[in-house]
Amino acid sequence: MQLRNKEIWFALLTAVIITVIYAGIMELYQSAPAAGSLFGHLIGIVGFLLMLMTETLYSFRKRSRKGRWGNMQSWLQFHIYTGLVGPYMVLLHTSWKFNGLAGATTLLTIIIVISGFIGRYIYTRIPRSLEGIELSGVAGQAQTAVLTRSRQMLATWHAIHIPIGIALFIMAFIHIAAAISYATFLR
């Protein structure tokens, strides 16, 4: 039996492990770890780095014409895994406080994750080879109509998803710069 959507299952398993560690920290300190605590910073930094990898590495591979970096299906699975685990860690980093720029950034993070699920659904509607290459010669007029409509939906989705992702990272970098500035210069 082949495990379908294994990247989602691995992300769920990782989230469970992270949740157990987070619950242990909460039990130890009798409260949610502060975003500015050692654990809060650690989980925020690792989550942000996973999100940054989600955004950059898959995009670089997708635009690479040479397949030396592995097949697109594996990169999409990596993109989905890091795109779920990273935002979850960043959500835990918030200490359940959603004020100001950090709160707006968290909201964009939630929107981008939901948008990613929508994009995954649209992506799976387009017939592909085992290597993940889009098939253009699909038999039958009904399947051709589905393929055309799915491509249009994917193009529209990209036109929404990518700018939201860019806005998210701009806000995240501003948040990081402000946090470093506050921690370094104003204390």
What does the pLDDT look like over 105-162, one tens digit per residue?
A: 888 888 888 888 787 777 666 665 555 555 565 555 557 777 777 778 888 888 888 8
Torsion of CA 168, 174, 179, 185, to 10 degrees: 180
Given 97, 128, 144, the domain boundary residue is: 97
Tokens representing 157? Answer: 């989705």
Give the range of the structural domain holding residue 174, as residue numbers without chain letter: 102-187
**Which DSSP category does 128 fall into?**
B
Q: How far apart are CA 179 and CA 117, in angstroms?
A: 30
The whole-angstrom separation of Cα 90 and Cα 95 is 9
Of residues 22 and 113, more confidence is placed in: 22
Q: What is the pLDDT of residue 135?
A: 59
Are 138 and 127 a contacting pair, CB within 8 Å? yes
Looking at the fold, whether 39 and 3 belong to one and the same domain comes out as: yes
pLDDT in tens, 56-91: 887 777 777 666 777 777 888 888 899 899 999 999
- What is the structure's pLDDT at 153? 81
Q: In the predicted model, is pLDDT for residue 49 greater than 60?
A: yes
Choosing from 97, 131, 152, the residue where a domain stops is 97
Tens-place pLDDT, residues 98-111: 888 888 888 888 88
Same domain, 78 and 169: no
- All residues at 6 or more sequence positions from 168 whose CB lies less than 8 Å from its CB, including other chains: 105, 108, 109, 112
CA dist 60 and 63 (Å) reads: 5
Q: Is residue 126 located within the same domain as residue 186? A: yes
Q: Answer left, alpha or beta for residue 61, where phi above 0 means left and psi between -120 and 50 means alpha.
A: alpha
Euclidean distance between CA atoms 5 and 80, whole angstroms: 10
